[in-house]
């Protein structure tokens, strides 16, 4: 975003929305999603904005977030090796799977 804008001042104002979206994700069987995850995903979507973002636009973006948006972001992060998902793991079963697939 070219215009510096501090969204953190609005975080407490959108707390009910973050809780609502977290509960929605939990109902859709994504128990691992936190309010912070939803907040960060919303901020990522706002990084594409070049103009000043009014409060109602932030609320609109947060309300429109879907499980698909979250899973797409998790997949991209997995490919980048960000966020805990990585093909390099200490799990012996995953190592076994790689050995089987190689042969």
Model pTM score: 0.72
CA 82 – CA 8 distance, rounded (Å): 23
| Structural domain contains residue 81 | yes
Q: What is the pLDDT of residues 4-49, one digit of tens each?
A: 567 889 999 999 999 999 999 999 999 999 999 999 999 998 887 8
DSSP-derived letter for residue 2 is -
| Structural domain contains residue 3 | no
Domains contained in the chain, number? 1
| Structural domain contains residue 60 | yes
| Structural domain contains residue 1 | no
97: three-class secondary structure by DSSP: helix
């Amino acid at each position: 975003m070219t215009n510096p804008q501090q969204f953190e001042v609005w975080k407490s104002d959108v707390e009910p929305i973050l809780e609502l979206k977290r509960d929605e994700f939990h109902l859709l069987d994504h128990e691992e999603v936190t309010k912070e995850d939803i907040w960060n995903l919303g901020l990522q979507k706002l990084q594409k904005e070049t103009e000043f973002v009014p409060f109602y636009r932030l609320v609109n973006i947060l309300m429109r977030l879907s499980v698909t948006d979250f899973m797409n972001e998790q997949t991209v992060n997995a490919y980048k090796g960000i966020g805990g998902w990585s093909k390099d793991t200490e799990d012996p079963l995953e190592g076994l799977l790689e050995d089987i697939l190689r042969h």
